[in-house]
Structure 1
Amino acid sequence: MNRTQIVHIAEQLGVPDSFVVELCEAGIVTVEGELIPEQIVERIRVSWTLHDELGVNLAGVEVALHLLSVIERDRRTLVDEP
């Protein structure tokens, strides 16, 4: 993710750009190319909420995001079953 993308996302979500940089450096969010998928923006928003409002550290944020993705995947599987 380049600096322009980081600043844009940070401004859009009202989070410090340094937090977005930390997420990128930790491998919690990765972006290839110029377009930033909506899922990445949502991932950053959820990460900031966990960190800022609940005091969750980056390792905890990563675990929480993984669990949320598992729950969402399982929910879709249940909905798709006949």
Structure 2
Amino acid sequence: MSTRRHPRTKTVAHSPQFVADSRFNGAVLTGNDGRAGYVKASGLAAANSKKQFHRDSHFHLGSVIKWLTSVFALSKYLGISAAGHQ
């Protein structure tokens, strides 16, 4: 696994302290050259049942599409291609 990151990538996703302080719920996935670099799931999948997120937790597709659209739009705004080049 490569630890190389794009210069604009923050290390927040790698910080267990960030996850604890922000009460982050969900999954974090970073990748480079078509390979997963960091995969972490944390928080609650359902607050009312206290069910924990896991790497194999299922998401409703509609919820994921909103985030994918945001990432795509932000990458275009920053001038970052799918390969991570400007």
TM-score clears 0.5: no
With normalisation by structure 2, the TM-score equals 0.31
The structure whose residues are more often strand, as a share, is: 2
With normalisation by structure 1, the TM-score equals 0.32
The structure whose residues are more often helix, as a share, is: 1
